[in-house]
Homo-oligomer: A and B are copies of this chain.
Amino acid sequence: MSGRLAVVGLGPGDVRWLTPEADAALATADALFGYRLYLDRAPVREGQSRYPSENRQETSRARAALERAAAGARVALVCGGDPGIFAMAATVCEEIEAGPTAWRALEIEIVPGVTAMLAVAARVGAPLGHDFCALSLSDNLKPWPVIERRLDAAAQAGFVIALYNPSSQARRWQLDAALERLRRHLPPTTPTVFGRAVGRADETIAVTTLQAADASAADMATLVIIGSAETRLVPRPGHAPLVYTPRSALA
Give residues in A with beta carbon < 8 Å to B.
Answer: 11, 14-21, 24, 58, 82-86, 89-94, 96-97, 104-105, 107-108, 110-115, 118-119, 121-123, 125-136, 141-143, 145-146, 149-150, 152-154, 156-159, 232, 234-239, 242, 244-251
Contacts and interface: CB of A to CB of B under 8 A. Distances in A.
A134 B132 contact: yes
Nearest to A91: B247
A146 B249 CA distance: 8
A135 B131 contact: yes
Contacts of A128: 84-85, 134
A112 B118 CA distance: 6
A136 B141 contact: no
Top 4 A-B pairs ranked by shortest CB distance?
A: A90-B129, A93-B244, A153-B157, A142-B249
B130 A133 contact: no
A237 B100 CA distance: 13
B154 A157 contact: yes
B251 A130 contact: no
A249 B143 contact: yes
Contacts of A105: 236-239
Contacts of A84: 118, 121-122, 126-129
Contact of A16 (B21, B119, B135, B250): B21
Contacts of A152: 157
A215 to B, nearest CB: 19
A143 B251 CA distance: 6
B89 A239 contact: no
Contacts of A141: 247-249
